[in-house]
Structure 1
């Protein structure tokens, strides 16, 4: 099949150069099957870029014995405004998002989001996304972000974050690669009267200039309540390209989901992270790991596992967490959106000095003495989030931990 011309109707905002780049592979196809596959792929690109929707491909005989192709579609829409509310064990939030689509005819988008909650005193994020070579799976993104967070329930301070970032993202099949540079100005401020000496020593401003790489492979059937498939996610960050903090940070997460007979499924997951100050420098509290809460190690308060000075959670330089959850059908409930679950969680979080965990005894105690909990509850799968109501029973805890043996409510995207 020889394609002589390609046209598009219905999409009012598309640059001709972008359209030509999208359909070029169809002209280069050497077989009928290959040409049709490339045309379908081009239609999918138009939809993923937000340029068009409900794209139909029509073939007509052309004057030169070739085939004329027309894409009949609807315009992808100029803008969108959404609002929402959310709640979790430690915060309720409300947010509004405005988005401009296909601004310059090549699938570019500009998004602004503002959120406010009981602990998020105000957060704004702006995101400009530009596809590379008209490919919706390759993007360059420019980000600006500012947030003021109230940490007082678990640390006697507020945290102010301001940052700009530039990211390059590539997605292929179910894998995504992300390379990002971030310049951030953070401040621990408004210390409470009862702030501990350790927290007071962390107060003030820090400037971070870092580059990070993240790899994600996700074959799960659902990101919130999966029943089959696996997740592998790793990230590495190096700070010290300017600014006044220097560290290397690594984080890994794995999750395996196995469907069992009669709507039962088993989820096992594990996470681990390491933060290491470079040149003997101290790790900043704003970059440490925190553990505990309804979306983390259940049965403990939010940030309730790990180093603490009086009432202030300090975070850790090294952590691990693991969990197993059995999802079960409920009697007289036919929908899979509401299910029961039985779980067991374990985790540990610690600070390092310049010599790390100094002896085999320290390493053994860190690895072999986790904080643990078990429990039962209900899981509800919404279209975009997961909600849990769990009755938790802490089993073991360190002297600085904050066990929370009660009903916990959690709302979020990722759970241990």
Structure 2
């Protein structure tokens, strides 16, 4: 890895020192235009190397140093060397990487990355939180498996709703870019759906994904998923709908997800926007379920002037369209569910939408909107705890003869309700709740204590007036 170009300068080491100091200082200082001249001075990189207790395979180093060896000015050498050092740290291959430039015998410059050994093995235990669920977990992680920034991780969890869960992932950068990765994943989970539905759900899946972050806040992901699901362990009081859903289904799907997120916090943001859209098609490569599914989410956060008052608005929506013909019905494992502190507050978890007896059976189309006002509290000096005024609304329905596409009937002699009337009712008569509460921002989780008052509820809904306590990451 060398360059044959020559460098003509009376003192390479002196010039490099001045140029690097000027580059680090952003071109300011008393040097005036000379700093810019030094940064733009042409130079050749003879050799680039990594030194320290670091394992990097030769092919990876060749790609890592290609931009460094191709640099033609001092500014380019410094910039590309810093970027190479940053990649080693982000990929977990080294820590405390320092860049050293010195004069080469041939008149050019040598680049050395001085590294300290990074931890390759990690084991942690802890309590993780998801939407409406707390989980205890143990996880093991191994970094830089084959000398190219690969990472393997295995996690076993038990939670309040998830009886047991295993997740194993293997990720590797594409080339040397830590912002572009491929991932292989194997997972198994046993979900206890009680008390909102008298069954358990077991899922086992294998997936492969390509993920790329193109610009700050923008992310694209393409995933292929093969998943074996089972609805099992029905309770004695299970509804006819649930009994008809029991058994095994196999899903083979392709999913694309686009995300834009420039919020200053993922838990209690004070500014920024989150936009996320997912499209999934199942049945193209086998499996016994065929559907097209789309989901979108938008969240905005804005501070009111220079005050500590924050206005947050959110909207979510989704559509699941069965591709097995007009008589086909979607699978319970693929449907949307709505209700709970992280979606529509003031209702039980999965407490909005179609129900057969005591079983929540989900829906094929939904929407949810919300508005929140976060306020400072008197006598509270920390900004991690705020008051919370909120209003939420949402609706969930099936797209078959039990829902919006039901066959019009008129047994009373009145006007028949058609599809247009059903759609109008769906959008104009959502379930609504308002309330007040407290929001606490912890480093990785948002904690809410809310007192809600349901204002509008359908006969199949399960409103929940009074106090609700929840932990989560993503809230409406």
How does the TM-score come out when normalised to structure 1? Answer: 0.97
Q: 1:11-410 residue pairs with structure 2 within 5 A? A: 11-86=53-128, 91-173=133-215, 174-240=217-283, 241-260=285-304, 261-280=306-325, 281-353=328-400, 357=405, 359-410=419-470
Q: CA deviation at 1:54?
A: 1.5
| Partner deviation per Cα, 1:194-244 (whole Å, 9 max, x = no partner) | 101111111111011111110111111111111111111101100012111
Q: Is the 8 A contact 1:89 1:408 kept in 2?
A: no
Q: Is the 8 A contact 2:257 2:276 kept in 1?
A: yes
Partner Cα distance (2:422, 2:47) in 1: 71
Moved more, 283-292 or 260-269: 260-269
List gaps (5 residues or longer) in structure 2. Answer: 1-42, 406-417
Q: Is the 8 A contact 2:395 2:430 kept in 1?
A: yes
May I ask how many residue pairs the two structures share in their alignment?
A: 416
Partner Cα distance (2:391, 2:370) in 1: 6
Partner Cα distance (2:62, 2:70) in 1: 12
Partner Cα distance (2:84, 2:249) in 1: 47
Partner Cα distance (2:131, 2:63) in 1: 49
Q: CA deviation at 1:86?
A: 4.6
Q: CA RMSD in A?
A: 1.5
Q: CA deviation at 1:364?
A: 0.7
Moved more, 39-48 or 303-312: 39-48
Q: CA deviation at 1:90?
A: 5.7
| Partner deviation per Cα, 1:327-357 (whole Å, 9 max, x = no partner) | 1112122222222211111100000117954
Q: Is the 8 A contact 2:132 2:471 kept in 1?
A: no
SS in 2 for 1:242: coil
Partner Cα distance (1:233, 1:338) in 2: 27
SS in 1 for 2:286: strand
| Partner deviation per Cα, 1:133-160 (whole Å, 9 max, x = no partner) | 1211111111101011100110000000
Q: Is the 8 A contact 2:338 2:353 kept in 1?
A: yes
Q: Is the 8 A contact 1:88 1:410 kept in 2?
A: no
Moved more, 241-250 or 7-16: 7-16
Q: Is the 8 A contact 1:98 1:112 kept in 2?
A: yes
Q: Is the 8 A contact 2:404 2:422 kept in 1?
A: no
Partner Cα distance (1:91, 1:179) in 2: 27
| Partner deviation per Cα, 1:344-398 (whole Å, 9 max, x = no partner) | 1110000011795452111110001111111111111111111111111111111
Partner Cα distance (1:42, 1:279) in 2: 51
| Higher strand residue share | 1
Partner Cα distance (1:267, 1:303) in 2: 23
Q: CA deviation at 1:11?
A: 4.0
Relative to 1, partners in 2 of residues 1:67 and 1:286: Cα closer, same or farther, differing over 3 Å? Answer: same
Max radius of gyration: which structure?
A: 2
| Partner deviation per Cα, 1:299-340 (whole Å, 9 max, x = no partner) | 100000000011100000000001111111121222222222
| Partner deviation per Cα, 1:59-109 (whole Å, 9 max, x = no partner) | 111111111111112222111111112568964421111111111110001
SS in 2 for 1:55: strand
| Partner deviation per Cα, 1:36-72 (whole Å, 9 max, x = no partner) | 2211111111111111122111111111111111111
Partner Cα distance (2:167, 2:130) in 1: 21
How does the TM-score come out when normalised to structure 2? Answer: 0.85
SS in 2 for 1:166: strand
Relative to 1, partners in 2 of residues 1:107 and 1:45: Cα closer, same or farther, differing over 3 Å? Answer: same
SS in 2 for 1:45: helix
Relative to 1, partners in 2 of residues 1:233 and 1:87: Cα closer, same or farther, differing over 3 Å? Answer: closer
Partner Cα distance (1:86, 1:251) in 2: 25
Partner Cα distance (2:388, 2:44) in 1: 57
